[in-house]
Structure 1
């Protein structure tokens, strides 16, 4: 049986299966991508690449309803969220088309001697992208668009539960008029993916996924001297140090925790609240989490659809149950119904518990009481992760001070859900290496070639 299948998490019904690639399919994909690179990088002008990317963005918007429905069936996100994701993928793709000159232009260097020097960005070649299920369009756009813009070619291994969205993305690149081999969807097994990374024609690999997946891929890439970019897990802190609008802060906390059914790497997961706001925050936050509508992801008004699979819901339930067994307090939620899991709040988690260091990949918020700014920063930094973070305070100087002290790739001050195509995305520690989105993304897989000319 193929490991690539669309199984609706709302019903448990397997809607379609797709065959994995044969070894011959893999070799053909590699050879075609390698051949395409030689023409794409050297003969396709940046303006041509930009025009084709702009058409891919347009196709996302034209096919929005179809694309959104696919991802609801594949991983259970509410329809409105799925539509928003398609829109964001279009915006990201268009961003790189609009900024093609900045991405591909030379960067002059002021030199000490006579003559000139520039950095010229040259593409590396064939890249492998290994993508997750939680944002089947957005994750692909932020990897593929900048790398295609600079002249690389893409082999894309999507998550096994997302074969239909993967095929739809590949079709958009074909329909936009891209040459064969510039973008290809390949349903690889893990063993085949390892062989592709090792292949001499492949110059780099980007992974968004779990720590385990990232570690395994990085090991293979390192052994074969390949560039690797990793965007892995997160347990992002939400620090509330002061506020003149507690209800507003609570609502932003709920929004940041429940986005994408709580299955977002950079969703707020640990809520670190100063002592004088703690009791009121827990009361209001728990009530709002409990009120989040759980139901059919296609239904209007649904806030929480099912988790991505029954297995994902079972894992989350086991984590919560284990936290309670180790001494945490379950304030609300915590009762699984098939693949559905309600908004859940835990308090009383201590450093001795597993939950202090784990990522809860679902609608579970852990709330901590702290005495002051220093303790808040200590708790925020007290995990192996360092992806994003959120700081809420009415004191601008405190905001800057805390932002400097947090060990994370991103700090958002008094705002949530503010990702945007021009803003780089990535983390430190066990949350990964490298950056996606923004202009930094286009520098991940290029040869920054020095060209020095005599005076």
Structure 2
């Protein structure tokens, strides 16, 4: 009796051609992967920081040396323009260097002022199971994997089905860098197999970057099996422009913040909240800059954004746009779609009841919401179930620091593009998830902070 093997297909979103097919692991093969993780952890946890750092630095060198080839792989699998893809590989390599250089001091023993000797030590936990998305197929992975592995953990990666080629390339780079087999494994599994991985005694922690729905399901499983988890979920970031903002600069950054990676990022600005006094001027500047953007072949020079990653994503964005217009929003520019190719789009006069306000829009669709004043702008920004990141634009930096504390988000940037940085904690609140990645906080998410008291 033959058994049907499920296949994941990598489809070039611009050409809609199948570029690779990948078999899903059988349950037996998955079991072997888990056993390999268990064996690898027993040895890796006893390695020194110096040994780990040497391999992590080597990994960074491999990524930098192969950035053009790896960037092309990213572009072909998920569609971002080639310069952005290469930049993503470079950023991932930089994160490897950062943790190679800083992990040991981040995890050094901490002593307390007590009459007896007391300290905290940081032990690795085991295997970290990661479920990662397709939109930043290298950065999202190295963002969690570099600190987790430098802490002495091992990891199992379930990547998105449309970027399995990227997952395999990352695993290959780890092995080339000298990491023992099993320290980093990509596991090509289907959704029904996820619970068995989380349930396994081999797995000590779970991290997911993805949608609110996926996060809710995986977090519930992590809770069911009492596993530490970190969730980095959806976002509908507010980009607040106050009366005294530098409107020209704000508009230029606004376009980049919304259209980078074809608008497919949790920290892309999505709600542009502008005080009434400057709303018309900002809207005109913003529209002029959106209109000149070129969407098309991501391998072609002069193209500002490529296609969306999958056809279903493009269809959903079209649905959201059509309904927003029925609900009273006004189309300023764009709105056309051809398969995965979605024209850069701007809509104005959006209110808090509109679908493009209430839902995350994952693509090159920008919305302008007009606020009465500063206080109303903050109120509108906080009137959302997501709380990942926000930006405030004003020349009064002291006032901005006060307003930043009123924003309900995990990150607030003043007069700047919202972005992630290895040195700074990253994560959200509300339905945007919990836990933090990056910085010293990120490496301590998947360690056992063990108190040691010696009388």
Normalised by the length of structure 1, the TM-score is 0.97
Other-structure match for 2:11: 7
Question: Gapped runs of 5+ residues in structure 2?
Answer: none
**Could you give the per-residue CA deviations for residues 216-272 of structure 1, whole angstroms, max 9, x where no partner exists?**
101111111111110000000001114463211100000100111100100111001
How many angstroms does 1:354 deviate by?
A: 2.4
Alignment of 1:89-168 (within 5 A): 89-111=92-114, 114-168=115-169
**Separation in structure 1 between the aligned mates of residue 103 and residue 196 of structure 2, nearest angstrom:** 32
Other-structure match for 1:361: 362
Conserved in 2, the CA contact under 8 Å of 1:47 and 1:100? Answer: no
Question: Is the aligned partner of 1:187 residue 2:188?
Answer: yes
How many angstroms does 1:416 deviate by?
A: 0.4
Question: Gapped runs of 5+ residues in structure 1?
Answer: none
The count of aligned residue pairs is 451
Question: Is the aligned partner of 1:35 residue 2:39?
Answer: yes
Question: Is the aligned partner of 1:62 residue 2:65?
Answer: yes
How many angstroms does 1:355 deviate by?
A: 2.3
**Separation in structure 2 between the aligned mates of residue 57 and residue 276 of structure 1, nearest angstrom:** 48
How many angstroms does 1:347 deviate by?
A: 1.7
**Separation in structure 2 between the aligned mates of residue 125 and residue 103 of structure 1, nearest angstrom:** 19
Other-structure match for 2:171: 170
Other-structure match for 1:200: 201
Other-structure match for 1:20: 24
**Could you give the per-residue CA deviations for residues 406-452 of structure 1, whole angstroms, max 9, x where no partner exists?**
00000011110543211111000000011111111101111100011
Worse-superposed segment, 330-339 or 259-268: 330-339
How many angstroms does 1:193 deviate by?
A: 1.3
Worse-superposed segment, 230-239 or 337-346: 337-346
Normalised by the length of structure 2, the TM-score is 0.97
Other-structure match for 2:424: 423
Conserved in 2, the CA contact under 8 Å of 1:70 and 1:165? Answer: yes
**Could you give the per-residue CA deviations for residues 370-409 of structure 1, whole angstroms, max 9, x where no partner exists?**
1211101001011100001101111122101110000000
Conserved in 2, the CA contact under 8 Å of 1:148 and 1:154? Answer: yes
Other-structure match for 1:221: 222
Q: Say which SS state the counterpart of residue 296 (structure 1) adopts.
A: coil
**Separation in structure 2 between the aligned mates of residue 228 and residue 187 of structure 1, nearest angstrom:** 21
Conserved in 1, the CA contact under 8 Å of 2:391 and 2:418? Answer: no
Other-structure match for 1:376: 377
**Separation in structure 1 between the aligned mates of residue 126 and residue 94 of structure 2, nearest angstrom:** 25
How many angstroms does 1:327 deviate by?
A: 1.6
The runs of at least 4 consecutive aligned structure 1 residues that moved more than 4 Å come to none
* C-alpha RMSD of the superposition: 1.1
